[in-house]
Amino acid sequence: MTDTAAPDVRTHCPYCALQCGMSLGGDDRGPGGPLRITPREDVRTNRGGLCQKGWTAAEMLTVPDRLTSPMMRATRDAPLRPCTWDQALDRITSEVTRLQGAYGPDAIAVFGGGGLTNEKAYQLGKFARVALRTSQIDYNGRFCMSSAAAATGRAFGMDRGLPGPITDLGRADAILLAGGNVAETMPPFMRHLTDAQEAGGALIVVDPRRTPTARQANLHLQPTPGTDLALANGLLYLAIEEGLLDEAYLAARTGGFEAVRTVVNGYWPDRVERVTGVPVPHMREAVRLLARGERSYILTGRGAEQHARGTDMVTAFINLALALGLPGRPGSGYGCLTGQGNGQGGREHGQKADQLPGYRRIDDPAARAHVAAVWGVHPDDLPGVGRSAYELLEALGTPEGPKAMLLFGSNPVVSAPRASAVEERLDALDFLAVADFVPSETARRADVVLPAAQWAEESGTMTNLEGRVQRRNRAVLPPEGVRTDLEILAVLADRLHAPGTWSDEPAEVFEELREASAGGLADYAGISYRRIDAEGGVFWPCPSEDHPGTPRPFLERFATPDGRARFTPVEHSGPAEDVDPEYPVYLTTGRVLAQYQSGAQTRRVGPLVEAAPEAFVEVHPDLAERLGIADGDGVRVASRRGTATVRARLTDAIRHDTVFIPFHWGGEARANLLTNPALDPMSRMPEFKVCAVRLEPVLPESAPDVPIDARIEEGASA
Ligand SMILES: Nc1nc2c(c(=O)[nH]1)N[C@H]1C(S)=C(S)[C@@H](COP(=O)(O)OP(=O)(O)OC[C@H]3O[C@@H](n4cnc5c(=O)[nH]c(N)nc54)[C@H](O)[C@@H]3O)O[C@H]1N2
Ligand SMILES: Nc1nc2c(c(=O)[nH]1)N[C@H]1C(S)=C(S)[C@@H](COP(=O)(O)OP(=O)(O)OC[C@H]3O[C@@H](n4cnc5c(=O)[nH]c(N)nc54)[C@H](O)[C@@H]3O)O[C@H]1N2
Ligand code: SF4
Ligand SMILES: [Mo]
């Protein structure tokens, strides 16, 4: 498949949804050989730019503790030891057979990830439904895009991250970005925002912290975490008061505005200032900027979405966008910033508990019939809706819950809310198998660990944050002993005597995915590898080979039954857990530039560890003074779920009432020891972005004189 003397391979970054284009070259492109990364100018999302994670991505291929052999433990208490592939696969097959024999098909859970290629995400969903016949599958995208997906589905009838090519942003008159810190989470994205600003457009950032992104903004609104819904309703109140609504658009293209008008009547400016902390003149300015031109955007990131009312929070922003007449017009609209490398495609092809490929619903009889026919099974043999990610993790090893789990592409010990409870559930399982490149915190708790091929060692497709399907191309062979996820799934399906065909060739799996998605919302039927190469990617929906693809959906009509966008009235109710005398400070969580997600990958890359070596808590100096905390002190941060120990970083860029901890580190420094698993009723998104905590300095006499992170590494491998 690979010619190591071949010219540079054109592919994309392994990490985030911007999927920056890069070429991989080098004189010795054998397994483990050095790879030279060159950013691609022809890919318009990054236009020759990369962030530090992209530049250093090749180091992940050769990290010292890269998994190159399957590992297995004899009993739950025994250590993991290298074994053969046959032993590992035999063990998985026998555990699955034994547990399903005793408890039925739902005894086995599957957990996937938004970093998997479309082919792998599709195959994993099919594997769960056809080879395991389990309903118990969900994935980490539930923690990521689910609120925006639910809200856009409700309003527009379809969820596709951005409303058009990213380059459209550069011509915007105004962009309001709520809860996104793209200067750190997708640095080359900033180029499109500054393009707009250089052409006279305004950037408005809504964030409780004055982030690098907020510093770049023309206007920064700095609300208390969890109050975005009140803010958006307040902005709509002002838009109505100032006569800025697009009445013709409301009449022609939307339904349900009157109910929203009634509700936002209760969001007069002074009240909203009291709730959010955002001064009225700032709100007024924001609305005027947004309404002054034809081409404006309202974008949300995780800050506005990861809430127990996340779907309604996003809905409030969509209502504002609709009232101003933005969605469904070229060069304007509402968009959400998809996060993971294949966060968009990963939510379309069946990893979600309620979903079949092509963004179909698993409880829709027509969808079941279509997909069952492609899979060569009877529709009645497909399971129904399963549990959402956190509910699934919470049920593991309980009398009603799954007894075993197979996990591909996530590290929930670090990334799931209320992580200590998740660890307990994982340990209560009869059997856990994890496929990964590295011994992540979750893999270390498994009974069987399978070494998987990564990024530059495999091919497939990824759908970026624009909805553009692109190719990932293999540049090197995986190390000896390592297999691709598709190979693993194919051989397991075979051992489990699954009906249907189970190719391990990405191109063949993609052909099947095209068929399975045909006629669905996310229709890939007209997309081929050849077209992706020839056209620089293809935007879905693309129902046939002669269809050009759909860079800007909704220009003619929305994907709702009547073609109109739907308003839904929503009311502010505050965070699921508010501050009180015992836990008087808001905690919010998020990301830093040099680390990615649970850190399983980036905490192993030298330059990234140097740039961001350990977890910290951002504290305003006034709050720190009240609590007797100095910059650099060890701090114990406690919530009703647990306690984390991190180092204090004093900064006046954060509100007085709020502290911030990035979630990239394991052990005692885990932000998710603290977070609240209160779930959104529609999206089942946990409330990662706000809970109540208390801070106290770790007394110098009790503080060990090793760096906080060193203690964590010892603890984790003990
Ligand atoms: N460096 C880096 N880049 C990444 C990732 C990574 O881990 N590291 N992960 C990728 C993934 S999967 C994702 S989902 C994206 C996420 O990308 P972003 O959404 O940009 O990232 P976050 O840091 O989670 O949250 C953004 C901001 O929300 C703010 N915030 C917190 N609470 C609130 C609130 O209540 N309201 C508002 N309006 N803002 C709030 C935080 O202060 C933070 O600055 O990044 C992707 N890119
Ligand atoms: N407190 C707090 N918690 C959060 C968030 C937050 O903002 N605050 N954000 C949430 C969000 S938006 C997200 S997306 C999640 C992400 O959290 P996780 O799901 O834990 O994400 P990763 O760290 O990317 O984990 C991916 C794991 O799978 C491995 N892996 C990557 N690609 C592949 C592959 O192709 N095949 C296989 N077999 N393995 C692979 C990696 O090495 C890594 O161990 O975290 C969520 N958790
Ligand atoms: S912005 Fe995202 S895709 Fe681009 S180089 Fe950085 S991590 Fe990779
Ligand atoms: Mo994410």
pLDDT digits (tens, 9 = 90+) for 158-187: 999 999 999 999 999 999 999 999 999 999
Q: How many whole angstroms separate alpha carbon 223 and alpha carbon 294?
A: 27
Closest C-alpha to ligand 3, atom 2: 16
Task: Tell which CATH classification among 3.90.1720.10, 3.40.50.740, 3.30.1180.10, 3.40.50.720 matches the domain 71-143+342-505.
Answer: 3.40.50.740
List every span in the chain annotated with CATH 3.40.228.10: 146-337
Q: Residue 69: CB within 6 Å of ligand 2?
A: no
The phi, psi pair for 700, rounded to 5°, reads -55, -40
Q: Residue 225: CB within 6 Å of ligand 1?
A: yes
Q: Residue 590: CB within 6 Å of ligand 1?
A: yes
Atom number of ligand 2 nearest to Cα 306: 7
* Average pLDDT over the chain, rounded to an integer: 95
pLDDT digits (tens, 9 = 90+) for 292-332: 998 999 999 999 999 999 999 999 999 999 999 999 999 99
Q: Residue 302: CB within 6 Å of ligand 2?
A: yes
Give all strands of the β-sheet with 219-221 in edge-to-edge order: 219-221, 202-206, 174-178, 296-300, 333-336
* Of residues 146, 272, 276, 156, the one with CA closest to residue 224: 276
pLDDT digits (tens, 9 = 90+) for 386-418: 999 999 999 999 999 999 999 999 999 999 999
List every span in the chain annotated with CATH 3.40.50.740: 71-143+342-505
At residue 583, the 3 state secondary structure works out as coil
Residues 6+ apart with CB under 8 A from 439: 65, 67, 449
**In the numeric block, which tokens belong to residue 68?**
């190159």
Q: Is the pLDDT of residue 344 over 60?
A: yes
Closest C-alpha to ligand 3, atom 6: 51
Q: Give the per-residue pLDDT at 35.
A: 87
Average pLDDT over residues 612-624: 98
CA of 649 to the centre of ligand 2 (A): 25
pTM: 0.96
pLDDT digits (tens, 9 = 90+) for 551-569: 999 999 999 999 999 999 9
CA of 410 to the centre of ligand 3 (A): 19
CA of 186 to the centre of ligand 3 (A): 6
Q: Give the per-residue pLDDT at 718.
A: 28
Give all strands of the β-sheet with 538-539 in edge-to-edge order: 460-463, 468-472, 538-539
- What is each CA distance from 76 to 187, 199, 423, 436, 444, in whole angstroms? 43, 61, 14, 19, 11
Q: How many whole angstroms separate alpha carbon 592 and alpha carbon 662?
A: 7
How much of the chain exceeds pLDDT 90, in percent?
94
CA 118, 119, 122, 124 torsion-angle sign: negative
Quick one: CATH architecture of 585-716?
A: Beta Barrel (2.40)
Q: Provide the 10 A C-beta neighbour count for residue 471.
A: 18
**In the numeric block, which tokens belong to residue 637?**
């941060």
Residue matched to tokens 């180092």: 647
Q: Provide the 10 A C-beta neighbour count for residue 244.
A: 17
Q: Bigger pLDDT: 700 or 231?
A: 231
Q: Give the per-residue pLDDT at 710.
A: 39
Q: How many whole angstroms separate alpha carbon 359 and alpha carbon 559?
A: 13
Q: Give the per-residue pLDDT at 28.
A: 60
Q: Is the pLDDT of residue 507 over 50?
A: yes
List every span in the chain annotated with CATH 2.40.40.20: 585-716
Q: Give the per-residue pLDDT at 7.
A: 80
Pocket test for ligand 3, best of 11, 12, 18 (most atoms within 8 A of CB): 18
Q: Is the pLDDT of residue 446 over 70?
A: yes
Give the bridge partners for 590, in sequence order: 662
Q: Residue 186: CB within 6 Å of ligand 1?
A: yes
Q: Is the pLDDT of residue 705 over 60?
A: no
Atom number of ligand 2 nearest to Cα 416: 47
Q: Is the pLDDT of residue 33 over 90?
A: no
Q: Is the pLDDT of residue 360 over 60?
A: yes
What is the chain's percent helix, strand, coil content, to nearest 5?
35, 20, 45
Task: Tell me the pLDDT band of 713, cut-offs 50, 70 and 90.
Answer: very low
**CA 271 centroid distance within chain:** 33
CA of 321 to the centre of ligand 1 (A): 21
How much of the chain exceeds pLDDT 70, in percent?
95
Residues 6+ apart with CB under 8 A from 400: none
CA of 21 to the centre of ligand 3 (A): 9
Q: Give the per-residue pLDDT at 644.
A: 98
Q: How many whole angstroms separate alpha carbon 506 and alpha carbon 461?
A: 8
Atom number of ligand 1 nearest to Cα 594: 1
pLDDT digits (tens, 9 = 90+) for 634-676: 999 999 999 999 999 999 999 999 999 999 999 999 999 999 9
Residue 635 region by backbone torsions, left for phi larger than 0, else alpha for psi between -120 and 50, else beta: beta
The phi, psi pair for 142, rounded to 5°, reads -60, -30
pLDDT digits (tens, 9 = 90+) for 588-605: 999 999 999 999 999 999
Atom number of ligand 1 nearest to Cα 300: 19
Quick one: CATH architecture of 146-337?
A: 3-Layer(aba) Sandwich (3.40)
